[in-house]
Structure 1
Amino acid sequence: MASVTRYWLQVSAFIAFLFFVTTALVPFISRVHISFLPPPAPQSPSAGPFRAAKHNVWADLSEEEAQDLTKFLFSKSELNLTEALNATSPDNIISNDNQLVLVELLQPNKTDILAYFNGSSDPPKRWARVVVDQRTTEEAQYVIYAAGPLPVTKSTEIRPLEYCYNAGRNHALNPIADQEDMAKWLIGLAMAASDITLELLGREVNPYDPNTLDASARVVPYQNGTITGWVELLGPSVNVDSNFLLPQGLYIKIFVSGRDSQNWRILQWYYNEVLYESADHLRGAMKSPTFKKSDLNLEGNWTALEDFSEGLPDRKNPPPVMVHPSGVRYNVDEKEKFLSWMGFELFITTSSDTGVALHDIKFNGESVIFELGLQETYVTYASGDPKQGGQDFLDSGFLMGFRMSELVPGYDCPAYATFLSTEYHIQGQTITRKNTICIFEYTADHPLQRHTSDAQVSIGKNTYMVVRSVSTVGNYDYTFDYVFYLDGTIEVKVRASGFIFGVFWNENSSPRDEYGYRIQNAAATAIHDHVLNFKADLDIAGTSNTMVRVGIEPVTKEFSWDDKETTPRNTMHLVPRTIEKETGINWAPNAGEILLVVNDNATNAWGEKRGYRIQPGSGIGAPSHRIAANSTSSGLAAEWATQDLWVLKRKDTEPKSSTIFQAFSPTDPLVDFSKFVDDERVVNDDLVVFFNLGSHHVPHSGDIPNTLMHTSASSVMFTPFNFHDSDPTRRSAQGVRIDNNDGTTKTRYYGGTYQEGVSLKATDLEPDQSGYDGPLEKNHPEYQVNGVTDFIALAFGLF
């Protein structure tokens, strides 16, 4: 009876709304028919190899180009270069000769690239960025040159590279040029205090014994060449890198002036919340009967990353895995590093300082983003101890691109992913890093769209493509994702994992929970900011763009259709405000604002300006900027970190927001980002957005031993907004519509489906990891990573 009643109710409803349904049905049916069109077929093998239509003008130097350029540079007497292997001491510490640090492509200017892409000129001439470690002069410097055009001919020249650094110079001070002397001096001062360390910490410092203490320094360089900093003693670790968690509570303040070690000295000692003016002062205090020693912070099971026991019962069964039996649906031109998938086209490049960048991103043949990539990673700490309390890092100085890790199939990326290798030209060698970039398509655990009605359900799969890399910088591994969705959305996402910097804890420490939380008997955490700066050179349907802030605001309003006695309605409305001049912007509270980049000269079928929305994406919350407004450590070196994002007029003379040498002269950096914001108009112009990802990391016991990636993720999404006439995913998504009328089920699929079973190999589910090479290629046995990047790493606190 109930089913009969329901049937007549449906009939009555149909009759009552017949006119409405009849007028609406025809356009609705036409749209439904479009949704069942299959996606474009992937290129078949018979069509020939996939090739980019244009050369990758951003591609780094080939090994041949780098070798020829290196020979050319060594022929220049004014550079006075010494071969790295001849200049390196047996301990692999760089000596006081001028050396070639790196060569890589100098990115062409956008104006030249667009002329080539538009067919009005030849490809831009290739030039290289050259970094020389100049130590033969009285004041050691890193000097940056431009060399070209390439390939090397009689017309090739070398000139100072200044135009892209608004400091007006092409060099940066090297505050710790004599690294061998510095290393010996630091080891010597620690060994000279063996009686102190043995008494207080139960161990001494011995660089040749892994069971002794480690020393970690954080120095603050200044432009006059004088640096101060605190050396922290860390406990030994059997578990790799767990010494980051093992501060021992003894700190030594050092002073370094100039290159003569006779001018270097120890300023103070700090132990158990007491400052001592000298080692003898500390020794005298230690003899007092009232002197109290702190507990030791020792390694144990708590610092181990893995638990190889059986664990929980369900752990014995392996988890689900993603497979792709039909093969990949994207196309890659590996020579040009050109990628195509479901309407997207883009070029992939890498640099030694910041890793992966994407260029000339198009969707369905139309321009969206000309350049998208990391600029800098800034981490600043707060703590009650002298080292963590003044510690901050600008990680591009560690060469984050060069430190891209080899990815592990089945864990970093699905087993079926496409892996790309990268090359770097360091100290006259070409170093190949295998499998540092992966590309894969993935289906999310939630649908792209769905709707259920009385008689049917329609649901589409949410499939997307990812370009991924991982950079390991000391204690942290950063996973970088560029994610592409079927509707034209582009997401930039960062996840972090690794060891936090532990802080020594005892009952005399700063007020409990002021800077972090206790995690062990003698260890605590330190709050710190992660702020990662990215550049997005937006070309929404062309280079003439405008940013509009659309507020979602409350309003009290009377409407013409209200009765005169009706109280005015409290509601909300949209309030657009065009950004007229360059400025910084923070994400609005309560998500009460939409940020749009639109093309005033391009409209969709409904007369709305075509654009993209910029918004926080998936993660633990809206990305943050740094808390400290005026940093006493980084000075002007990271001014982009003071707000969430910036909208600027694009200029060839402002290609990057930072450099690898920022921290060497923080009060007068090579690139002062604050000078980028100079009150220029940004209406109907070529815009660039510098945006930040990251979070205020407040570590707790769950971060021990390693921070978990799902608790440390942040992202920004660029989403089509009136860019299309309707949802474009109907032509590319896979899905199903299930109709159920009178108990009869009819299933209709759009897009391809699996018609029969598949056969899988064990390696499809659990890849063979025996080919994993680790951080460096085995075909360079003479190459040592410490010898290559110590030119920066020592000055950044990796003693």
Structure 2
Amino acid sequence: MQFFTFIYLALPSVVLSAAFPPLGYGRRVLREAFDKRNSNVSAHSCFTEAAPATTAPKTNVWAPISGDDNLAVWNLLHDPASSLNLTHPNDAILTDNYVFWIDALHTNKSAVLPYLDGNATAPPKYARAIIFEGGKAVPDSQEYMIGPLPVGPKTTVEKLNYIYNGGTGGSVPYNARYFDSPRNAASDPLLASVMSNISDITAALFQGGVYYGSNDSRTNLITTWGVPMSFDGTKAFRNVMFKFPGPASYLTPLDFFILLDITGTDASLYSLRGFVTAEKLYPTVEALRTAFDAGDLAMEYDQTLDADWALVNYKPELGVRDLEDRLAPSTLEIGGKRYRLDKENQYVEYMGWSFYMSFSRTLGIMFYDIKFKGERILYELSMQEAMAQYGGGQPKAAGTVYHDTYYSLGTEMSALVEGFDCPWGATFWNLSYHSNNATITKTNSLCIFEADMNFPVSRHRYGADNAYGYTQLGTVKGAALTVRAIATVGNYDYMFDYAFHMDASLEISVRASGYLQSSFYYPDQGAWGPRIQQATQGSLHDHIVTFKGDFDIVDSSNSLQVSELKAIKTSQSWFPELGEFEQLEMETSNMKEEQQFNWAANNQAMYTIINSNATNKWGTPRGYRVVPGRSNIHLSTLNSPFSRNNSHFAKSHLAVTQQHDNEPYANSVQNLNLPWKPQQDFSKFFDGESVDGEDLVLWFNLGMHHFTRSEDVPVTLYSEAYSSISFAPQNFFDRAQDGDLLNRRWIEVDDEGVLTYEDYGVGLETCVVDLTEPTEHIGMMLTS
């Protein structure tokens, strides 16, 4: 293995032959222009040059709490004076009080704007902490707010209640709290006891598969279980499914489920609710053994023990593609980085755009104070929830709903592979979160890069009376700055992209790859997905990813304008022979009250966030349009018991509400196990308040109905599992925002066929890839 050196040259003959036909004098004029333009250009590194620096206009008040603040908060919570009586999580049992996690509490918008737009001091910083309180007379999970930070004499620890509307504030019933290691350890003895008593049955059914407990060396099966694990917090259950171990275990499920009642903190009271196999319920061990002895239990198919077919590695048995041994095309920032960064404040400037970023252990990347040419468009843009709901004829598939914030989605954003997950030479930032009294840093887990869009922002040609096909041609190069992170939550790798385009539009997209959560295959269960392997069925499901867009078009007095296209009957005197005929017309109005709503049929309505008090040069209210992209869906099941009241945010394409400091999130991170009595009920946001001329929040859903297929093996493909939306200026400006871009060509052909063009001083560049001293990010990846 050795490093190599590669020099990328934008050769004039290649570029010109691609752009212009070789037509005599016209080509000579172009070649002379190219030589003159590039005579003093020197090559620079394609990869190692850092983005130029800038200084954020204000301190990032949305930033995560520091490691020092986390440690100070941890110590304060464990101080006997705080009277929380805490045990270290590593030593905790069910009846102990201990910290689940610590993170930053959102900073109220009402406190930020005077600082951001005026001379007020920065608002105080607070932390939030979830504490499992199993030692209370009525055990629960309680969330606290701790601040102001840094910890000092004025710092207090108070219950965090004001952001929740479910009636119990920050308190969640014990039976609905996160299922962590102590709860798993408490219920595993019952599981092991039951499975040990039927080890002869499982060994016979599943090629020797047995379970004697998670720490028993004889165990050769692994467990998984469905969520939710409670409906309203009064009881808790654990529906356990077994699988063969291995990196692709999601694709090797077994048709065997144990249903357990695990209510409360006294594990001696936990009990067996039954078994499910071969689509039948057996309520007791005796009933299961009777069926086994009678020969009624048998697997129609054996699950595969060798899962090499499910690994994401090279599969030569699929054949060889001609020329695939060559490196695929890559995006390179040939002209050098065109964005500026203030890394300390997580602040970015790019081609008129500016914005701050933050990070949360539950929500991942968040954006604040998004401006274009100094004018605010969005105060906040953030992912709120990534949920999935399944369907199936077996307990896990039929009863599975995921809220990935419950699993701390942000903590699962991990290192990205340069050149594959992100382009060569992208800027990589680390992401950090806190675990107990320590800080965990995920290296290179966020990337920022500018990429060629492979289509022009705009283009037009005029005339066609010569060999070129035009007498005038203008074309503007398309590019965008993308911020990307990938979160692997269990089986799925969610890619989040935020693309800031040259024309002042902003595109948000989500892609999903990774392993299917699959089910054991039965021929009569085709309604829930196809057979995708020897004994595996792809389980039908929905992915819904909910986002928050807090718009401030010019200021915070905004409206949601609906422009609906209608086919109306009309007559016109200059067409007397037509009589009455159908014609397109637009009916425009503003929404009056908060509501959830769906995209209009045939997309015959345009939704625009406008500021009625601010008009452009032509007297039209300035605004940003909400443009549907690919796969803008909502949840299919609107009345499922597993997502009845805790997933209202996923049940429409769009929603609009008034902004309130006590409604910062669409969901609670502890809502998953409370579908009937949620801690946070999104439907309660809609209480008749006006959304005309108010501070508005647009909630929107991306996602996909996952019609599973054999091509989901080994993993789902990003090219197909893809959803997007855009926000685009709608009369926000007086004209299109491309006239000030220098990356363009204006070409003219005179009557004699002489072609000349203007390049506005932006020529073709060269860059050098030198891997003799590889960069920190790509040293082990660019080898031959």
TM category (shorter chain) comes to 0.7 to 0.9
Which of the numbers 188, 193, 199 marks the counterpart of 1:188?
Answer: 193
Say whether 1:213 aligns with 2:221.
yes
Range 47-56 or range 460-469, more displaced: 47-56
Conservation of the 8 A alpha-carbon contact between 1:732 and 1:751 = no
In structure 1, stretches of 5+ residues that fail to align are 1-44, 773-799
Say whether 1:268 aligns with 2:268.
no
In structure 2, the residue matched to 1:72 is 76
Say whether 1:111 aligns with 2:119.
no
The 1-side partners of 2:332 and 2:688 are apart by 52
Q: 1:574-723 alignment to 2 at 5 Å? A: 574-617=586-629, 619=630, 621=631, 623-723=632-732
Say whether 1:146 aligns with 2:145.
yes
Deviations 1:597-644 (A, max 9, x none): 111011111111110000212x3x3x1101111120123111111111
Say whether 1:354 aligns with 2:363.
yes
Conservation of the 8 A alpha-carbon contact between 1:547 and 1:578 = yes
Return closer, same or farther for 1:503/1:135 CA change in 2, 3 Å cut-off.
same
The 2-side partners of 1:254 and 1:192 are apart by 15
Return closer, same or farther for 1:497/1:747 CA change in 2, 3 Å cut-off.
same
Return closer, same or farther for 1:450/1:563 CA change in 2, 3 Å cut-off.
closer
The 1-side partners of 2:608 and 2:379 are apart by 17
Range 348-357 or range 69-78, more displaced: 69-78
> What's the % identity of the aligned pairs?
29
Return closer, same or farther for 1:366/1:200 CA change in 2, 3 Å cut-off.
same
Return closer, same or farther for 1:153/1:257 CA change in 2, 3 Å cut-off.
closer
Conservation of the 8 A alpha-carbon contact between 2:279 and 2:393 = no
Q: Secondary structure at the match of 2:72?
A: helix
The 1-side partners of 2:301 and 2:51 are apart by 70
In structure 2, the residue matched to 1:201 is 206
Q: Secondary structure at the match of 1:396?
A: coil
Say whether 1:253 aligns with 2:255.
no
In structure 2, the residue matched to 1:754 is 764
Q: By how many angstroms is 1:342 displaced? A: 0.5
Return closer, same or farther for 1:403/1:291 CA change in 2, 3 Å cut-off.
closer
- What amino acid sits opposite 2:646 in the alignment? A
Q: Secondary structure at the match of 1:402?
A: helix
- What amino acid sits opposite 1:307 in the alignment? Y
The 1-side partners of 2:440 and 2:497 are apart by 24
Q: 1:14-163 alignment to 2 at 5 Å? A: 49-82=53-86, 84=88, 87-89=89-91, 96-163=95-162
- What amino acid sits opposite 2:478 in the alignment? N
Which of the numbers 560, 563, 566 marks the counterpart of 1:550?
Answer: 563
The 1-side partners of 2:231 and 2:604 are apart by 42
Deviations 1:507-547 (A, max 9, x none): 4x33xx31111112221111111111110000011111111
Deviations 1:200-254 (A, max 9, x none): 00121254559821111114213344123421111233xx2x1101111112222
- What amino acid sits opposite 1:500 in the alignment? L
Aligned length: 712
Conservation of the 8 A alpha-carbon contact between 2:397 and 2:539 = yes
Q: By how many angstroms is 1:670 displaced? A: 1.7
In structure 1, the residue matched to 2:38 is none
Which of the numbers 495, 503, 508 marks the counterpart of 1:479?
Answer: 495
Which of the numbers 314, 319, 327 marks the counterpart of 1:307?
Answer: 314
Q: Secondary structure at the match of 2:395?
A: coil
The 2-side partners of 1:579 and 1:109 are apart by 26
- What amino acid sits opposite 2:414 in the alignment? S
- What amino acid sits opposite 2:240 in the alignment? V
TM-score, normalisation: structure 2: 0.87
Say whether 1:448 aligns with 2:450.
no
- What amino acid sits opposite 1:451 in the alignment? H
In structure 2, stretches of 5+ residues that fail to align are 1-48, 464-470
- What amino acid sits opposite 1:376 in the alignment? E
Conservation of the 8 A alpha-carbon contact between 1:639 and 1:672 = yes
Deviations 1:71-100 (A, max 9, x none): 22222444435463xx525xxx76643222
TM-score, normalisation: structure 1: 0.85
Conservation of the 8 A alpha-carbon contact between 1:268 and 1:275 = yes
Return closer, same or farther for 1:436/1:687 CA change in 2, 3 Å cut-off.
same
Return closer, same or farther for 1:47/1:517 CA change in 2, 3 Å cut-off.
closer
Return closer, same or farther for 1:80/1:627 CA change in 2, 3 Å cut-off.
same
Q: By how many angstroms is 1:107 displaced? A: 1.5
The 2-side partners of 1:60 and 1:714 are apart by 28
The 2-side partners of 1:46 and 1:179 are apart by 47
- What amino acid sits opposite 2:66 in the alignment? S
Deviations 1:283-322 (A, max 9, x none): 2222225654321121444312212537323221121111
Q: By how many angstroms is 1:770 displaced? A: 6.1
The 1-side partners of 2:602 and 2:150 are apart by 54
Conservation of the 8 A alpha-carbon contact between 2:235 and 2:264 = yes
Q: By how many angstroms is 1:468 displaced? A: 0.8
Q: By how many angstroms is 1:754 displaced? A: 2.2
Return closer, same or farther for 1:196/1:289 CA change in 2, 3 Å cut-off.
closer
- What amino acid sits opposite 2:225 in the alignment? A
- What amino acid sits opposite 1:456 in the alignment? Q
Q: Secondary structure at the match of 1:316?
A: coil
- What amino acid sits opposite 2:221 in the alignment? L
Q: Secondary structure at the match of 1:651?
A: coil
Which of the numbers 553, 563, 566 marks the counterpart of 1:540?
Answer: 553
Q: By how many angstroms is 1:477 displaced? A: 0.7
Return closer, same or farther for 1:681/1:518 CA change in 2, 3 Å cut-off.
same
Say whether 1:171 aligns with 2:171.
yes
Q: Secondary structure at the match of 1:599?
A: strand
RMSD: 2.4
The 2-side partners of 1:293 and 1:46 are apart by 59
Deviations 1:171-197 (A, max 9, x none): 112325633212333233333321111
